[in-house]
Structure 1
Amino acid sequence: MQYHQLYSVVISILEKEIAPKFTYHNADHTQIVLDNAIAIGEKENISEGEMILLKTAALLHDVGFVENHLNHEMLSCKFAKKHLPEFGYSSKEISQICEMIMATKLPQTPKNHLSNILCDADLYYLGGDQYQFYADQLYHEFKSSGILKTKEEWHQRQLDYLKEHRYFTKWVQEQRNEKKIENKLTLEKHGARFSKKGRGLENFQDLISAIGGIIIAAFALNSFLVPNHFFDGGITGISLLVHEVYHFNLAAVIVIFNIPLVILSYFTVGRNFALKTFLSVVFLGICLWQLPAVDITNDKTIVAIFGGAFLGIGVGLVMRAGAALDGIEVLALYTLKRTSFTITEIILGINIIIFGIAAIKFGIETSLYSVLTYFVATRCIDYVVEGIQAYTGVTIISTKSEEIKFELVNRLGRGITIYKGERGFLPGKYDVSADCDIIYTVITRLEMRKVKNLVHIIDPNAFIYANTIREAAGGIIKSRVKH
Structure 2
Amino acid sequence: MKQPQLPHWLIDTVYIVAGILFCGFALKSFLVPNQFFDGGVTGISLLLHELYHFNIAYVIVICNIPFILMGAFQVNKSFAIKTFIAVIGLGLCLSFVPYPQITSDKLLVSIFGGAFMGIGVGLAIRGGCALDGIEVLALYTGRRISFTISEIILGINIIIFLIAAIELGLPTALYSILTYYTASRTINFVIEGLEEYTGVTIISSESTQVKEQLVMSLGRGITVFKGERGFLKESFDISQPVDIVFTIVTRLEVRRLRNLVHDIDPKAFIFTSTIKEAAGGVLKRKPRH
Q: Where on the TM-score scale, by shorter chain, does this alignment land: which range?
A: 0.7 to 0.9
Deviations 1:388-433 (A, max 9, x none): 353433211223434655776894346x362513159699x99997
Deviation at 1:467, TM superposition (A): 3.0
Deviations 1:120-170 (A, max 9, x none): xxxxxxxxxxxxxxxxxxxxxxxxxxxxxx97xxxxxxxxxxxxxxxxxxx
**Greater length-normalized contact order (CA 8 Å, ≥ 6 residues apart):** 2
Max Rg structure:
1
- Pairing partner for 2:111 from 286, 297, 305: 305
1:219 aligns with 2:25: yes
- Pairing partner for 2:201 from 367, 376, 395: 395
The secondary structure found in structure 2 opposite 1:226 is: helix
Q: Is the 8 A contact 2:227 2:241 kept in 1?
A: yes
**1:29-428 to 2 correspondence within 5 Å?**
200-388=6-194, 390-402=196-208, 404-405=210-211, 411-413=219-221, 416=223, 418=225, 420-422=227-229
Deviation at 1:326, TM superposition (A): 0.4
Q: How many residues are aligned here?
A: 274
Amino acid at match of 1:232: D
The structure where strand makes up a greater share of residues is 2
- For 2:81 and 2:91, the matched residues in 1 are separated by 16
- For 1:408 and 1:209, the matched residues in 2 are separated by 36
Structure 1 runs of 4+ aligned residues shifted over 6 Å read: 406-410, 424-427, 429-433
* Corresponding residue for residue 282 of structure 2: none
Q: Would the alpha carbon gap of residues 412 and 388 (structure 1) be closer, same or farther in structure 2, given more than 3 Å must change?
A: farther
* Corresponding residue for residue 281 of structure 2: none
Q: Would the alpha carbon gap of residues 401 and 271 (structure 1) be closer, same or farther in structure 2, given more than 3 Å must change?
A: farther
Q: Would the alpha carbon gap of residues 339 and 299 (structure 1) be closer, same or farther in structure 2, given more than 3 Å must change?
A: same
Deviation at 1:272, TM superposition (A): 2.1
- For 1:341 and 1:424, the matched residues in 2 are separated by 36
Q: Is the 8 A contact 2:221 2:247 kept in 1?
A: no
The structure where helix makes up a greater share of residues is 1
Q: Would the alpha carbon gap of residues 211 and 470 (structure 1) be closer, same or farther in structure 2, given more than 3 Å must change?
A: closer
Q: Would the alpha carbon gap of residues 353 and 267 (structure 1) be closer, same or farther in structure 2, given more than 3 Å must change?
A: same
Deviation at 1:214, TM superposition (A): 1.5
- For 1:375 and 1:282, the matched residues in 2 are separated by 26
Moved more, 395-404 or 441-450: 441-450
Q: Would the alpha carbon gap of residues 413 and 437 (structure 1) be closer, same or farther in structure 2, given more than 3 Å must change?
A: closer
Q: Is the 8 A contact 2:226 2:244 kept in 1?
A: yes
Q: Would the alpha carbon gap of residues 350 and 431 (structure 1) be closer, same or farther in structure 2, given more than 3 Å must change?
A: closer
The secondary structure found in structure 1 opposite 2:26 is: helix
Q: Would the alpha carbon gap of residues 454 and 212 (structure 1) be closer, same or farther in structure 2, given more than 3 Å must change?
A: farther
* Corresponding residue for residue 24 of structure 1: none
Amino acid at match of 1:388: L
Deviation at 1:446, TM superposition (A): 4.9
Q: Is the 8 A contact 1:388 1:445 kept in 2?
A: no
Amino acid at match of 1:327: G
Q: Would the alpha carbon gap of residues 338 and 413 (structure 1) be closer, same or farther in structure 2, given more than 3 Å must change?
A: same
Q: Would the alpha carbon gap of residues 277 and 406 (structure 1) be closer, same or farther in structure 2, given more than 3 Å must change?
A: farther
| Identity fraction in percent | 54
- For 1:413 and 1:202, the matched residues in 2 are separated by 27
- Name stretches of at least 5 consecutive residues in structure 1 with no aligned partner: 1-149, 152-193, 472-483
Amino acid at match of 1:286: L
Amino acid at match of 2:229: E
The secondary structure found in structure 2 opposite 1:227 is: helix
Deviations 1:329-370 (A, max 9, x none): 101111112222211121111101100110011000000000
The secondary structure found in structure 1 opposite 2:34 is: coil
- For 2:100 and 2:224, the matched residues in 1 are separated by 53
1:445 aligns with 2:244: no
- Name stretches of at least 5 consecutive residues in structure 2 with no aligned partner: 278-289
1:464 aligns with 2:264: no
Amino acid at match of 1:341: F
**1:8-19 to 2 correspondence within 5 Å?**
none
Deviation at 1:270, TM superposition (A): 1.1
- For 2:150 and 2:143, the matched residues in 1 are separated by 13
Q: Is the 8 A contact 2:15 2:127 kept in 1?
A: yes
- For 1:258 and 1:376, the matched residues in 2 are separated by 22
- For 1:452 and 1:322, the matched residues in 2 are separated by 37
TM-score (norm 2): 0.82
- For 1:398 and 1:360, the matched residues in 2 are separated by 59
Q: Is the 8 A contact 2:198 2:273 kept in 1?
A: yes
Q: Would the alpha carbon gap of residues 238 and 419 (structure 1) be closer, same or farther in structure 2, given more than 3 Å must change?
A: farther
Deviation at 1:237, TM superposition (A): 0.2
Amino acid at match of 2:174: L
- For 1:303 and 1:209, the matched residues in 2 are separated by 24
RMSD: 3.2
